[in-house]
Amino acid sequence: MTAPGQNMKINGERLWDSIMEMAKIGPGIAGGNNRQTLTDEDAEGRALFQSWCEAAGLTMGLDEMGNMFARREGTDPDALPVYVGSHLDTQPTGGKYDGVLGVLAGLEIVRTLNDLDIKTRHPIVVTNWTNEEGTRFAPAMLSSAVFAGVLERDWAYGRVDAAGKRFGDELERIGWKGPEKVGDRKMHAFFELHIEQGPILEAEGKDIGVVTHGQGLRWIECTVTGKGQHTGSTPMYMRRNAGRGLARVTELVHEIALQYQPNAVGAIGHVDVYPNSRNIIPEKVVFTVDFRSHVLETLEAMVAELMETAPGLCADIGVKFDAQTVGFFDPPSFDETLVARVRNAADRLGYSHTDLISGAGHDACWINKVYPTTMVMCPCKDGLSHNEAEEITPGWASAGAEVLMHAVVETAEIVE
C-alpha cells in the first residue's frame, strides 16, 4: 500500500521549459543572465513569474521589500503555510539556474499538485526574495534579512548602488513595492532548492545534496586612501599609491584563508578605484573582503587578523586603511526534522545523496533564524556558478525538484 502521494512525479520538461523561458529575460553576453535586482529586467522576470502563478490559480502577496508570495490554499486556512522558493535576481555575469531553479521548482510543485488534484492541509506559498545576490545593493540576502528582523527596512531602503541610486527608490520605480509589512507573515517551514555552486556533488556522482549546515559570511568593506597625483611627473619616492594598498590586502586575505584550511575561504571580488584615470595614481580604493567558514570561531579569527594586520601594511607604504562590516551572517544549522525529510525522500525516490555544507549564502540562511528551514541541492557542472557558463542537466533539476516536492508535501500534509 503506497502512502498518499508517494508516486508523485514532477513534470521535468515543464520545469526545464520554464527555466529556459525565464532565461530569455535579462540575457547576458555569453549565454547566461544579467537580471540584476530592481532593474527593468528584474521587473520583467517578476511579471512573467506572476503570470505563471496566476495561471496556476495562486494568489500573489507582495511586501514592502518586493518579496513575492504566491499562495496555494490548503484545506485548513488557519494552518501556517509551507513556504518554498529562492530568488530571481542574478549576478551581472550570472547563470540561468542560480536562484531561478528554486523559485520555479516551487511553482512546479504547485503545478504538479494541481494536475494530480492533491490537497494539503497547510497552504503552500511559492516565494521570490528580492535582492538575494547583493551585487547591486549590498549586502546579499538583503530582503530575507529584513524579513527575519536582522536588518531594518529603512536601512535597506537607503542602500545605494554604484550610480548612487537608492534601493527604496528603485523598488518604487519598477512598481514592485508591496503593501504588506515585511516580516508579518508566519511560516510552518521554509524550503529552498539551489544548485550547489561548488564541485562536490558532481565529483562524488551524487544526485542530491542534503544540506545540514551553511558557511557563515563576513563582508568587510575596506577603504585605502593615498594621494591622487600625476603618474608621469610625480617622483616614485613621493607617491602614496592606494592601489598598492589593495595589492597588499588582496594577498593578505588569501594568506589568512590559507591558514585556516580546509574550512575557510577568502577573496576580494568588488573593487572601485578613484578617480580610475589612466594617468592618475589611485587616490582611493574601496573594496570588499569576502570571508566564509562554517566554523564561527574561524570566521571571527580571520576578520580579527585582517583588522590587526592590514593597517600596518598600508601605513608602511604611506596609505591609510579603514574598514566597516557591510554584510554578515553566522554559520546556519538547518532544521533536523526537515533535513531528515529531505534525506528520506531522496532515499525513497532512489536518488543518491550526501550530506552537504552550503558554501554559498542563501535566503534560507536568514529564514532559518525565525522558522524551521532547510535546503536541497543539485549538482552543477564543474561546480561553476556566478559565471555565465553555469550549467546543470535537466535530470539534476528534476531530481532536485522531485525530492523538494516530497519533503514539502510531507510537511504540508496530504489530505485524502
Positions touching ligand HGY (CB under 6 A) are: 132-134, 140, 360-361
Q: Under the criterion CB under 5 A, does residue 332 sit at the interface with Mn ion? A: no
Give the interface size with Mn ion as a residue count (CB under 5 A): 2
In order of 110, 227, 245, 276, the CA distances from 279 in angstroms are: 58, 13, 18, 9
Long-range contact pairs involving 342-349 (C-beta distance under 8 Å, separation at least 24): 342/208, 342/210, 342/211, 342/374, 342/376, 342/403, 342/404, 342/407, 343/210, 345/403, 345/406, 345/407, 345/410, 346/207, 346/208, 346/210, 346/403, 348/6, 348/406, 349/399, 349/402, 349/403, 349/406
Question: In the complex, what is the shortest distance from the CB of residue 30 to Mn ion, in angstroms, rounded to a whole number?
Answer: 17
Cβ 10 to Mn ion shortest distance, Å: 21
- Indicate the residue among 145 and 313 with the shorter CB distance to ligand HGY: 145
Helix (H, G, I), strand (E, B) or coil at 25: coil
**CA–CA distance, 376 with 119 (Å, rounded to integer):** 23
Q: Quickly count: other Cβ atoms within 10 Å of residue 175's Cβ.
A: 10
The residue among 408, 388, 340 whose CA lies nearest residue 74 is 408
Which residue, 81 or 94, has its beta carbon nearer to ligand HGY? 94
Q: Which of Mn ion, ligand HGY, none has residue 108 at its interface (CB below 5 to 8 Å by kind)?
A: none
209's contact among ligand HGY, Mn ion, none, with CB below 5 to 8 A by partner kind, is none
The two beta strands, 59-62 and 68-72, are: antiparallel
Length of the chain (residues) = 416
Contacts with Mn ion, 76-115, as mask; x by CB under 5 A: ----------------------xx----------------
Q: How far is the CB of 87 from Mn ion (least distance, A)?
A: 6
Residue nearer to Mn ion on the CB measure, 141 or 319: 141
Pick one of Mn ion, ligand HGY, none as the site partner of residue 140 (Cβ within 5 to 8 A by kind): ligand HGY
Choosing among Mn ion, ligand HGY, none, which partner's interface includes residue 361 (Cβ < 5 to 8 Å by kind)?
A: ligand HGY
DSSP state of 231: T
Comparison of 246 and 397: residue with beta carbon closer to Mn ion: 397
How many of the other CB atoms lie within 10 Å of CB of 270? 15
Q: Which candidate, 200, 192, 204, 209, places its Cα nearest to that of 378? A: 209
Q: Which is nearer to ligand HGY, 218 or 406 (CB)?
A: 218
Select 140 or 220, whichever has its Cβ closest to ligand HGY.
140
Nearest-approach distance from CB 179 to ligand HGY, in angstroms: 27
The single-letter DSSP state of residue 386 is: S
Choose between 140 and 357: whose C-beta lies nearer to ligand HGY.
Answer: 140
Look at residue 390 and give the partner it binds from Mn ion, ligand HGY, none, a contact being a CB closer than 5 to 8 Å depending on partner kind: none
Q: Which listed option, ligand HGY, Mn ion, none, makes contact with residue 99 (CB within 5 to 8 Å by class)? A: Mn ion
> What gap in Å lies between CA 216 and CA 18, rounded to an integer?
32
The contact set with Mn ion (CB under 5 A) reads 98-99
